[in-house]
Structure formats: structure tokens, C-alpha cells
Amino acid sequence: MTAAQTNPPAPDPLTPVLTRRWLSPRSWSIDTYEQLEGYQALRSALAAHPDQLIQLVKDSGLRGRGGAGFPTGMKWSFIPQGPTGPGAKPKYLVVNADEGEPGTCKDIPTMMADPHSLVEGCIITCYAIRSNFCAIYVRGEALHCIRRVRRAVEEAYAKGYLGKDILGSGFDLDIVVHAGAGAYICGEETALLDSLEGRRGQPRLKPPFPATSGLYASPTVVNNVETIASVPAIVQGGSDWFRSMGSEKSPGPKIYSVSGHVERPGQYEAPLGITLRQLLDLAGGMKDGIPLKFWTPGGSSTPLFTAEHLDVPLDFEGAAAAGSMLGTTAVQVFNETVSVPWAVMKWTEFYKHESCGKCTPCREGTYWLVQILERMVHGEGTEADVETMLDICDNILGRSFCALGDGATSPITSGIKYFRQEFLDLIAAQPAVARPEQLAELTGATA
């Protein structure tokens, strides 16, 4: 067939790249990693000019895997270089391993099963951006990941992949594995930097952006674990190979974390653009055959989808076009037994708990929304509450300091958008309450 020559064959439904070593025994050890071509990419990279690597990653079209999807190569190229001015400052790589977005569970298995791909990615990235210090900020609750990454770093030092004059290249790099202490907001890159500097993890004003004024006010790249772990494969396979998966604007493989009411929840690495229908098929369909009601394409901060979105391509453009976001490809699947107002309440409680408190809309808005939703779920909602919630969300979305506030509105606005009648039915089924303080004993109602 002639078409095959111009259009390469479509890749297989699953394309293990990041997950390709996960089945190997002691996949997390350097011995296994090296047997499976580990640290080969590093050797190629060190032979290249750093700018070639930045160009390679640009060409590959790799986009940040932490949720925002910013082009990684472009981010690296923002780091000022040169012997004078801002380029003369030390530069830093900070890996965002503070995985905490509800539904998201891809970085933790990555760090547990294959920490060396992350470490190798860090070394290549640091070489590219001319950084001699890298911090991997791991969520504190992910203790075993911290051990695995820490051990991987030790092993890499022992083999000469870290430290002074790496593999005779003249390049020096130290990596510190840093444990967080329990704050979702630290997944926001500037909050993470403040936290790494020993402060409250509250987001910073941008500009200046981390690329010019990040860690210790020096040029800094902040990248997600999955992003950095993708780098060695890109060096080995090249940008064309990477682009043979996924779409033009969202190339490459991606770990989809399927959870909830499916038969076989788990991590599925597929080319970007797979649909929920395909994922459900791989995961054995809905659990016990109970129909799908709603789902998140990429964590709780991405607006809900319903059964009508089964065929939305799950890449950056596809999810956005359908009114949501790709986020972290944390596909949480909920069946018909789950109450939407209840689920929305739970998520809102989460955002209230994790709001950093810096800005008014997020801090006060989530405080208020939780009370309305708890009241509603406990049978004391009013019809006006639905409109009030939408208006509060309107006053938070795009008004808060960082994206946490925006994320907090997603479950509510999308929940009401698709399931307004369920909210109204819930309200109608309950007696009206004159005095809401009667509900004071409800858990969480009094902050």
C-alpha cells in the first residue's frame, strides 16, 4: 500500500515507553535499568551541545505532563544563558513530584518502578539548561518513592552519573531529593519553589517567571516527573519517533490512570488522543456493568465529562474542545450510583482544605461553597443556592491568584451544567430550612 509509506502505521493501542520496564524484576535498581538500555541516552546527550538537546525536545513537541501542557523545549529555552547578566546566575532544575491532584496516580508508580528514568532525565535536562543543582520535590506522603528516588540518586553517584565530571564530560551535577510536608498547593510551580525555599507554599507573583527568577531568584526550570522521565526516550528515539505517537500538537505516549468504577483500574500508557471508550475497553468495561454517569478526564480540577464524551480524544486539544482539560490524564470513572452533588461536595471540601489562603476568592469562596454544598447534601438546600453557587464560581474563576481557585470551580460548574436537575431534585426532596445554623453540627460546616 502506498499510503503506508507516507503515513506510518498507527501505533498499537498501548505504547509502553515510560512503563516499559515496570514488569522487570527489581525494575527500580540500577542494574535492571542499565540492562534495559538505561543511561545510554545520557551518553549520547553528553556528547551533544546543550542547545542541540533543547532543540531536540522542542522538535519532539513534548508538552508538560503536570497538567498545563506547556511545551517543554520552549520552557528550557527561556533559561537565560551566557557569561554575563542573568545567564551568569546559577540555574536550577526542580522536578515537581508533588503528585496530589485527586485522581492522579501516575508519578508515584513511575518513581517507585523506574526512578532511574527520572534521574537520567534530570541529568540530561540539567546538562541542557546548564544547571549544576537539581531538586526533586517529592510529595511527603509518597515515602516509598522518596526512598526509591533517593536510592537511585545514590546509585547514580556511585556509577559516576552524578557528582563531579560526569562520565568525563566535565559536567557537574548534584541532585537533592526533597520531601514535601503535605500541601496540595505545592504542586503549583511557584508555590513549590517557595516551599523548597523553606517557606509557606503559597504561589508567587508572576512575572517574574521561574525561568528568570525561580529558585533563589535564579533561572529555574520546573518540570513534572513524567515530563522529565520522557526525556531519555526522546534522546534515544529522536523527535520523529516520539511524534509517531499521539497527534501533531499533542505528541508522544502518556500514562492514563484509570480509576473508579471500572473492572480493571490501573495505569495504561497509550498515545495521546485515546478516548475513554477505548480506555474502558482496555480496562474491562464498567464495573459490574453499571452504566457510566460522569468522569474526569484529568483530575478533579478538570471539568466533568459524561457518557456523551466517550469519544472525545484525550489530548490537550480534544479535551479542551469538549469543554474540559487534559490535566493529568487522571481518568476517574463514576457510575450511576454516585450522587453528583455529593461528589461535588467532597471535591469542594478538598479544595477548601487545600486552598493556601493567599487570595480572597479561593480562600473565602471555597469556604462558602462547602457550606452551601454540605447544607444541600444534608437536605437543607434552596433553589437559590444553585444560582448562588454558580455566581460564586464566576467570582472565583479567573479572579483567584493561581489555578487552584479555578480548579475548585470545575466540579461545581460542570456538575451543575450536566446534572442541574439532580441538584434541583435533591433540593426539592428536602424541606426548606429557615435557619441554617441549625445545621451547625454538620461535620465541616463550622470551620
Partner 1 sequence: MTIAPEEKKEARPVPEGHVRLTIDGLEVDAPKGELLIRTCERLGIIVPRFCDHPLLDPAGACRQCLVEVEMGGRPMPKPQASCTMTVADGMVVKTQHSSPVAAKAQEGVMELLLINHPLDCPICDKGGECPLQNQAMSTGRTDSRFVDTKRTFPKPLPISTQVLLDRERCVLCQRCTRFSEEIGGDPFIDLLERGAHQQIGVAEDKPFQSYFSGNTIQICPVGALTSAAYRFRSRPFDLVSTDGVCEHCASGCAQRVDTRRGTVLRRLAGNDPAVNEEWNCDKGRFAFRYLGSPERITRPMVRGADGVLVETSWTEALTAAAEGLTAAREGGIGVLAGGRLTVEDAYAYGKFARVAAHTNDVDFRARPHSAEELEFLAAHVVGQGPEVLDYARLEAAPAVLCVAFEPEEESPIVFLRLRKAARKHGQQVFHLGQWTTPAVARTSRDTGAASPAAKDNLVRSVPGAEAAVLAELPEHVVAALTGGGVILVGERAAEVPGLYSAVSALAARTGAVVGWVPRRAGERGALDAGAVPTLLPGGRPVTDAAARAEIEAAWGLAAGTLPTAPGRDTDEILAAAAIGELAALVVGGLDPHDLADPAAALAGLREVGFLVSLEMHTSAVTELADVVLPVAPDAQRSGSYLNWEGRRREFTPALDASGVLPDCRVLDTLAVEMDADLFTQTPAAAAGELGRLGLGARTAAAAPSVPPVEPLRPAFGQAVLATWRQLVDDAALAVDEPALAGTARPAFARVNAATAERLGLVEGQPATVRTDRGAVTLPVALADLPDGVVWLPGNSDGSRVRSVLGAGHGDLVGVTA
Partner 2 sequence: MTTPEGTPEANGRPAAPEEVVWEAVAQEPSPVSPVFDEVTRQRTKEIIARYPQSRSALLPLLHLVQSVEGFVSQDGIRYCAEALELTTAEVSAVATFYTMYKRSPCGEHLVSVCTNTLCAVLGGDAIYKRLSEKLGVGHEETAGEPGTPGSITLEHAECLAACDLGPVLQVNYEYFDNLTLESAEALVDALQRGERPAPTRGAPLTDLKTVELELAGIFPDLERSVEGPSTAPETVRGAQLAADRGWVAPPMPDAPPALPDLPEKKS
Contact 19, 255 (CB under 8 A): yes
Segment near partner 1 (CB under 8 A); pick from 78-86, 254-262, 269-277, 386-394: 386-394
Does position 356 interact with partner 1 (CB under 8 A)? The reply is: yes
Segment near partner 2 (CB under 8 A); pick from 62-70, 340-348, 374-382, 425-433: 340-348
Does position 157 interact with partner 1 (CB under 8 A)? The reply is: no
At 335 the three-state DSSP class reads strand
Cross-strand pairs, 294: 306, 334
Q: How many CB atoms lie within 10 A of CB 144?
A: 11
300 vs 304: CA distance, rounded Å: 8
Contact 202, 357 (CB under 8 A): yes
254 vs 268: CA distance, rounded Å: 8
Q: Closest CB to partner 1 among 3 and 440? A: 440
- Which alpha helices (DSSP H) does 173-224 contain, by range? 189-196, 210-213
Does position 74 interact with partner 2 (CB under 8 A)? The reply is: no
- Closest to 409 measured CA to CA, from 354, 369, 373: 369
Does position 164 interact with partner 2 (CB under 8 A)? The reply is: no
Does position 56 interact with partner 2 (CB under 8 A)? The reply is: yes
Q: Closest CB to partner 1 among 32 and 388? A: 388
**Which DSSP helix (H) or strand (E) runs through 254?**
strand 253-260
* Binding pattern for the stretch 163-202 against partner 1, x by CB under 8 A and - elsewhere: --------------------x-------------xx-x--
Segment near partner 2 (CB under 8 A); pick from 329-337, 361-369, 381-389, 402-410: 329-337
Q: What single DSSP character describes residue 168?
A: G
Segment near partner 1 (CB under 8 A); pick from 38-46, 130-138, 310-318, 363-371: 363-371
Does position 101 interact with partner 2 (CB under 8 A)? The reply is: yes
In the chain, % helix, strand, coil (3-state, to 5) comes to 50, 15, 40
Residue 272 main-chain phi, psi, to 5 deg: -55, 140
The residue written with cell numbers 489555578 in the block is 403
Which residue from 395, 422, 424, 430 is in contact with partner 1, where contact means CB under 8 A? 395
Residue 437 interacts, among partner 1, partner 2, none and using kind-specific CB cut-offs from 5 to 8 Å, with: partner 1
As given in the structure block, the three cell numbers for residue 99 are 503528585
Q: Closest CB to partner 2 among 51 and 394? A: 51
Which residues 6+ apart lie within 8 Å of 129 measured at CB? Answer: 50, 54, 76, 79, 91, 93, 219, 221
Give the footprint of partner 1 on residues 128-147 (CB under 8 A). none
Which residue from 353, 383, 425, 432 is in contact with partner 1, where contact means CB under 8 A? 353
Give the footprint of partner 1 on residues 307-346 (CB under 8 A). none
Provide the residue count of the chain.
Answer: 447
Q: Closest CB to partner 2 among 299 and 365? A: 299
Q: Closest CB to partner 2 among 263 and 394? A: 263
Does position 70 interact with partner 1 (CB under 8 A)? The reply is: no
Residue 266 interacts, among partner 2, partner 1, none and using kind-specific CB cut-offs from 5 to 8 Å, with: partner 2
Give the footprint of partner 2 on residues 123-152 (CB under 8 A). 133, 135, 139-144, 146-148, 150-151
The CA-CA-CA angle for residues 241, 266, 182, to 5°, reads 100
| Residue 239 vs residues 75, 77, 133, 196, 405: alpha-carbon distances, Å | 17, 17, 27, 33, 36
Q: Closest CB to partner 2 among 152 and 397? A: 152
Give the footprint of partner 2 on residues 207-266 (CB under 8 A). 216, 233, 235-241, 244-245, 253, 255-261, 264-266
233 exposed, middle or buried (CB, 10 Å; 0-12, 13-18, 19+)? buried
Q: How many CB atoms lie within 10 A of CB 132?
A: 15
Min separation Cβ 217 and partner 1, Å: 7
Give the footprint of partner 2 on residues 173-192 (CB under 8 A). 176-184
Which residue from 18, 372, 376, 426 is in contact with partner 1, where contact means CB under 8 A? 372
- Closest to 97 measured CA to CA, from 328, 318, 418, 314: 328
Which chain residues interact with partner 1 by CB under 8 A? 183, 197-198, 200, 205, 216-217, 352-361, 363-368, 371-372, 375, 384, 388, 391-392, 394-395, 398-401, 436-437, 440, 445-447
